[in-house]
């Protein structure tokens, strides 16, 4: 087996707070173990075009507490084509890169799996605010996003209380409801609408009417972006309940900001394990959190795994919103 000397690192897909902490950890742990570390800019785009530079320990100073990603990121549709990935693999040969660490979501993992199958070893670290990757209980950025959303919900609830209105708050999550479910509970929502559960506007209207009959004056409805747009839901609520209703789409604010302590620690530990895994010649792995333990799983097996929303959390939210 060829001795690994040079390791590349890239971030891909939607950025997430804590990606920088993971980059810092991978680079410094890599240097600690004697590897040469290379930053690949703009995700898979940069792997194809050769936007690659050597990173020293000091190059990742001052980024631990910063949101976004120092290495920039991209969506690179061309990477679905083998011809494009062939260029990426050739580029790695040019720079002498033996392994690429990919920080991103499950789309980025599929790109990494294709590279692995075609002969370029990879190790992946989960980075997305959505927490929607089947093989891991946690993805870097999720905790920070929850705290950002929480701050927004708390502020909106102040005005909902004062005006006795209904607020519909749309949160991110692509096709998953993890952000909505957690912030719905933490924010005391009257209803939480997630893609994993069938959506019926009449159920929401009933919750609001019954709540009003029990003496509630204001309402908070959390909707995950994968359900239906907040504006339409808001209009239907106002039309059918007579309660003045407003909507807020939190949008990209959820992806930014200084990572929480939890995200920094998780990113640092995952980066460390990624390098230790490479150091043991364990390649084509995904670093995951499973039952509170960090593990390195085979990428092809890991990508087949699914995870499901804890429906009991919906029940908790329902009981607590009486």
What are the structure tokens assigned to 200, written together?
């019926």
Residues 145-164 that bind ligand F6P (CB under 6 A): none
Q: Determine how many CB atoms are found less than 10 A away from the CB of residue 271.
A: 26
Q: Which of 14, 17, 18, 195 binds ligand F6P (CB under 6 A)?
A: 14
Q: Answer yes or no whether residue 129 interacts with ligand F6P by CB under 6 A.
A: yes
Nearer to ligand ADP, 105 or 184 (CB): 105
What are the structure tokens assigned to 96, written together?
């002498």
Phi, psi of 79 (to 5 degrees): -70, -10
SS3 298: strand
Do 64 and 309 contact (CB within 8 A), yes or no? no
Q: Which of 172, 227, 274, 303 binds ligand F6P (CB under 6 A)?
A: 172
Q: Answer yes or no whether residue 105 interacts with ligand F6P by CB under 6 A.
A: yes
Residues sharing a CB contact under 8 Å with residue 291, sequence separation 6 or more, in sequence order: 137
Q: Answer yes or no whether residue 68 interacts with ligand F6P by CB under 6 A.
A: no
What are the structure tokens assigned to 208, written together?
């609001």
Q: Answer yes or no whether residue 127 interacts with ligand F6P by CB under 6 A.
A: no
Q: Answer yes or no whether residue 104 interacts with ligand F6P by CB under 6 A.
A: no
Number of residues that bind ligand F6P (CB under 6 A): 11
Nearer to ligand ADP, 82 or 311 (CB): 82
**CA-CA distance, 100 to 93, in Å (whole number)?**
12
Do 54 and 37 contact (CB within 8 A), yes or no? yes
Catalytic residues: 130
Nearer to ligand F6P, 177 or 211 (CB): 177
Q: Which of 63, 60, 42, 59 is nearest to 51 (CA)?
A: 42
Residue 129 near which of ligand ADP, ligand F6P, none (CB within 5-8 Å, type-dependent):
ligand F6P
Q: Determine how many CB atoms are found less than 10 A away from the CB of residue 270.
A: 28
Smallest distance, ligand ADP to C-beta of residue 64, A: 22
Residue 172 near which of ligand ADP, ligand F6P, none (CB within 5-8 Å, type-dependent):
ligand F6P
Nearer to ligand ADP, 81 or 154 (CB): 81
What is the DSSP track for 243-255? --EEEEE-GGGGG
Residues 174-213 that bind ligand F6P (CB under 6 A): 174
Residue 114 near which of ligand ADP, ligand F6P, none (CB within 5-8 Å, type-dependent):
ligand ADP
Q: Which of 45, 98, 106, 130 binds ligand F6P (CB under 6 A)?
A: 130
Burial 148-173, CB ≥16 within 10 A → b, else e: bbeebbeebbeebeeeebbbbbbbbb
Residue 142 near which of ligand F6P, ligand ADP, none (CB within 5-8 Å, type-dependent):
none
Q: Answer yes or no whether residue 255 interacts with ligand F6P by CB under 6 A.
A: yes
H helix and E strand count, the chain: 11, 11
Binding site for ligand F6P (CB under 6 A): 14, 75, 105, 128-130, 172-174, 225, 255
């Amino acid at each position: 087996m060829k001795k690994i000397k040079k390791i590349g690192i890239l971030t891909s897909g939607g950025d997430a707070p804590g990606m920088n902490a993971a980059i810092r950890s991978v680079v410094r742990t890599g240097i600690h173990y004697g590897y040469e570390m290379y930053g690949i800019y703009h995700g898979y785009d940069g792997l194809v075009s050769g936007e690659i530079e050597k990173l020293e320990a000091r190059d990742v100073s001052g980024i631990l507490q910063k949101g976004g990603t120092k290495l920039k990121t991209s969506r690179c549709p061309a990477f679905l084509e083998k011809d494009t990935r062939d260029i990426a693999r050739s580029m790695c040969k040019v720079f002498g890169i033996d392994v690429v660490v990919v920080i991103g979501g499950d789309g980025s993992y599929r790109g990494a799996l294709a590279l692995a199958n075609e002969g370029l070893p990879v190790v992946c670290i989960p980075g997305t605010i959505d927490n929607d990757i089947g093989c891991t209980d946690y993805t870097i950025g999720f905790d920070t996003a929850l705290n950002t959303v929480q701050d927004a919900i708390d502020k909106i609830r102040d005005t909902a209380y004062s005006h006795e209105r209904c607020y519909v708050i749309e949160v991110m999550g692509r096709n998953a409801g993890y952000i909505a479910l957690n912030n719905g509970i933490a924010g005391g929502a009257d209803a939480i609408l997630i893609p994993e559960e069938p959506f019926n506007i009449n159920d929401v209207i009933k919750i609001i009417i019954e709540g009003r009959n029990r003496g509630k004056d204001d309402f908070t409805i959390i909707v995950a972006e994968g359900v239906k747009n907040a504006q339409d839901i808001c209009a239907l609520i106002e039309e059918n309940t007579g309660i003045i209703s407003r909507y807020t789409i939190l949008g990209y604010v959820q992806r930014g900001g200084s990572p929480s302590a939890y995200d920094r620690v998780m990113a640092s530990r995952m980066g460390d394990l990624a390098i230790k895994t490479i150091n043991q010649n364990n390649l084509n792995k995904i670093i995951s959190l499973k039952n509170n333990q960090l593990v390195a799983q085979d990428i092809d097996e890991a990508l087949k795994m699914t995870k499901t929303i804890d429906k009991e959390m919906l029940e908790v939210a329902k009981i607590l919103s009486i």
